[in-house]
Structure 1
Amino acid sequence: MRRLWLLFAQTVTVGLAFWFILTTLKPDWANNAWSIGHSAGPSPTFKIADTSVKSAAAQGSYRLAAQKAMPSVVNIYTSKEVQRSRNPLLNDPALRRFFGEQAGPRAERQSSLGSGVIVSPEGYILTNNHVVESADEIDVALADGRNVAAKVVGTDPETDLAVIKIDLQNLPAITLGHEDAAQVGDVVLAIGNPFGVGQTVTMGIVSALGRKNLTENAFQNFIQTDAAINPGNSGGALVDINGNLLGINTAIYSQTGGSVGIGFATPISTVKSVMESIITQGQVVRGWIGVEPQDITPELAESFGIKQKSGAIIAGVIRGGPADKAGMKPGDILVTIEGKPVTGTMEMMNLVAQLTPGNKAKITVLRNNQEPTLQILVGKRPPSRREE
């Protein structure tokens, strides 16, 4: 009996040792052996990836927006001829008058690049004015590889926008977004041709709205974004996650010339009105009343004893202008224009610009604690210096 027990104990010990070695060196064999030995039990349930279902990464992708918008964004190449003196010192007009044109000027061609957005199937393309300004030749490269010459339909230096046209039909026009669609924190894509490397998509968010006093443009209401915008992106598209146009990339803030995460786009609200005016009339016609407005600051309000802490005050009235003829005076505070409240000088300029020249407009001012309403015959805004 003792011998049988000893034999049983040795057998169990050898079996356990063998099982330990097997599970350590060949765990898959052990699992197969375990499953075979328990084949009568229920099978475990495993999660297997379904290739027909988008992965989490794909669901978080913006490729559909890019695929929708990219065919509508074009690369623009311009060139113009400039006259330069053969002696670099004689490029200075004062020196040239003193020394004379000894060897005569030489002609040089300057090239630049930018981007544009197809806004209609008939070939109208929206871009920045500074992209095509003074250009002798404009070439457009479409996303499908075609290259075609373009001509300028009209420009608007005061918003730095321009419309050009190519002689092609059935083009992939971009879908315009809603005027109030952009909100701070929304994801946006910037599409353009930075540094001439080719069509590029960058991603960021809407950093701020209503940015002003950033450029020489008279009318400013920029969308600020941290989507990378670099030289060559000018005139390109800023789109939402559905591929709809929110603005035209116009400017960057940079001390190096490259993107530092502060870019600016002209919003679709401005783009629409300028684009429609240029296409239908060849130019943008704006209202004008002939005043010099100034923002009301807390300091200004305190010094003049004004209760109102914000808005626009009339600093000057152009003699003989529409406002002067209607009785507006320096020191008047603008309250409403055609019933719309005036919150500052930029708002005032935008409201006046929307008025139709030749029509009368009701403008309410605050004067000596009273609010008289003036009937002003709206004039046509004179061209800016850049347009002359």
Structure 2
Amino acid sequence: MHRLWLIFAQTVTVAVAVLFVLTTLKPEWLHQSPTVVALRESASGNADGKGMPSGSYRDAARAALPSVVHIYTTQKIKQQNHPLFDDPIFRHFFGERPEGQEQKNSGLGSGVIVSPNGYILTNYHVVEAADDIQVSLNDSKTYKARVIGSDPESDLAVLQIKADKLPTVTFAQPDGLRIGDVVLAIGNPFGVGQTVTMGIVSALGRSHLGINTFENFIQTDAAINPGNSGGALVDVNGNLVGINTAIYSRTGGNHGIGFAIPAASARNIMEQIIQNGAVTRGWIGVEAQEITPELAESFGLPDTEGALIAGVMRGSPADAAGVRPGDVLLTVSGKPVKDPQIMLDLIAALKPDERASFRLRRDKSIVEVQVKIGKRPAIRQEKE
């Protein structure tokens, strides 16, 4: 009897040990209780990127993310001493005070790598007045950057870092974007790290916003916030369609109205900066005014089309060609002028020293003049 009891005890001990091992190491071998509700599960295979689920833009993000960088800038600000520190009596009682100390003002933004040897496209306002620029890549490597050149009137700048074999963005085909197309905005909003947001193209050719001198924006509802400036706006294939530049907001946050510079425009400006160090635009030296219905009635004009010449700079190309204040500019090289912004864009697109035909309405007659285009003066960039 004692022997049987011993065998039983040993059997139970071994069974408990086996159950413990199975529960710990191979729980799936044990019998599972039936589920209360029958659930449908997706097929495996999406974890590695294969079999992309419908509606996903992971391939576009994967293609574009490595080429988008974070930009950190530092500007030194000299702190001024209070005027009392210069008073002899004050200095007699309180001693000499140190000269104004330098403080640092930091900023952040984004940029897009456009060439393997380190050229980066970003917004001018991201690096404006910066004394030190640091660029952090997608792999967390950080480099010191220098400004190759900038164009404040379009709010673009080109940087370069000392690196090679960098991942670069692919530019989309010009004029391929349409209203309603899905786009992704990639950048570093509020410094939280690389972020991808999705939206659609809300409008094309936005201007008269007062953001830049030359405006031809893509409007999108993809979330763009402070820190996104200079980042990439890409299509569903990960190709660059724009450089994120500004938002319409009264609070500083995203309200679904963001603006990006078209990639084709940015590329043209970038190539001029890299090749010449600056952007060359046409100029004739006039001040134009929009024709309102009231002005049209006052001047006896048949409609509000064109740009009213409000002033002509003495000695300018327009002055030499005989353009007068009060003229209404109708066409530039055969292209219609609808308003002063269109006039500015058309003239800027002309090459200096070439001659262009300008069609004007003067009083009740139409006048044709030939203008030798000049070079648009650069904006003075003063550093405080």
Q: Which of 55, 58, 63 in structure 2 is aligned with 1:68?
A: 63
- Asked if 1:345 is matched to 2:331, the reply is no
Q: Give me the whole-angstrom Cα distance separating, in 1, the residues matched to 2:143 and 2:180.
A: 38
**Residue 111 of structure 2 contacts residue 230 of structure 2 at CA under 8 Å; is this kept in 1?**
yes
1:358 aligns with 2:353: yes
Query: What is the rounded CA distance, in whole Å, between the counterparts of 2:317 and 2:124 in structure 1?
Result: 30
Tell me, yes or no, if the aligned pair for 1:298 and 1:310 is still in contact at 8 Å: no
Q: Using the alignment, how far apart are the partners of 1:153 and 1:60 within structure 2?
A: 40
Out of 366, 373, 382, the position equivalent to 2:377 is 382
- Mapped to 2, the partners of 1:251 and 1:359 lie a distance apart of 34
**1:150 counterpart residue number:** 145
Is the deviation greater in 321-330 or in 208-217?
208-217
Stretches of structure 1 lacking an aligned partner (at least 5 in a row): 1-27, 29-46
Alpha-carbon shift at residue 173 of structure 1 (Å): 1.5
TM-superposed CA distance for 1:169, in Å, is: 1.7
CA distance in 1: counterparts of 2:319 and 2:238, whole angstroms: 47
| Residue identity in the other structure for 2:182 | V
Alignment-derived partner of residue 221 in structure 1: 216
Q: How many Å apart are 1:378 and its aligned residue?
A: 1.1
Partner deviation per Cα, 1:257-304 (whole Å, 9 max, x = no partner): 111212111122321221111011001111110001122233322232
Q: In 2, Cα distance between the equivalents of 1:153 and 1:317? A: 34
CA distance in 1, matches of 2:269, 2:382: 15
- Once residues 240 and 202 of structure 2 are traced to their aligned partners in structure 1, the CA distance between those partners, rounded to angstroms, is 17
**Match 1:299 to one of 294, 297, 301:** 294
Q: 1:48 to 1:129 in 2, by over 3 A?
A: closer
Contact 1:76 1:141 survives alignment (8 Å): yes
SS of 1:303 mapped into structure 2: helix
User: Helix, strand or coil for the counterpart of 1:371?
Assistant: strand
Aligned to 1:138: 133
CA displacement, residues 72-120 of structure 1 (integer Å, 9 cap, x when unaligned): 1100111121101255xx6xxxx99999996521111111110000112
Indicate the residue corresponding to 2:167 in structure 1. Answer: 172
Unaligned runs of 5+ in 2: 1-34
Tell me what 2:246 maps to. Answer: 251
CA distance in 1, matches of 2:133, 2:351: 33
* Cross-structure match for 1:323: 318
1:326 and 1:374 in contact (8 A); partners too: yes
The letter of the residue matching 1:146 is: K
TM-score (norm 2): 0.81
Amino acid at match of 2:363: N
Change (3 A) 1:321 1:122: same
Q: How does 1:114-133 map to 2 (within 5 A)?
A: 114-133=109-128
Aligned amino acid, residue 67 of structure 2 = S
Residue 309 of structure 1 aligns to a residue whose secondary structure is coil
Shift of 1:200: 0.3
State the Cα deviation string for residues 3-52 of structure 1 (Å, max 9, x = none). Answer: xxxxxxxxxxxxxxxxxxxxxxxxx9xxxxxxxxxxxxxxxxxx997667
**Match of residue 367 from structure 1:** 362
Q: After TM superposition, give the deviation of residue 196 of structure 1 in Å.
A: 0.7
How far apart are residue 153 of structure 1 and its match?
0.3
Q: 1:178 to 1:302 in 2, by over 3 A?
A: farther
1:186-335 aligned at under 5 Å gives the runs: 186-335=181-330
Q: Which moved more, 1:210-219 or 1:131-140?
A: 210-219
Change (3 A) 1:96 1:285: farther
Q: How far did 1:359 drift?
A: 2.0
Q: Is the 8 A contact 2:148 2:273 kept in 1?
A: yes
Identity among equivalent pairs (%): 56
When normalised by structure 1's length, the TM-score is: 0.80
Q: Highest CA radius of gyration, 1 or 2?
A: 1
Q: CA deviation at 1:385?
A: 4.2
- Tell me by how many angstroms 1:362 deviates: 1.8
What code does the residue aligned with 1:74 have? V
C-alpha distance after superposition, 1:215-239 (max 9, x if no partner): 4521112222111111111100111
In 2: Cα distance, 1:139 partner to 1:177 partner: 28
| Structure 2 counterpart of 1:68, one-letter code | A
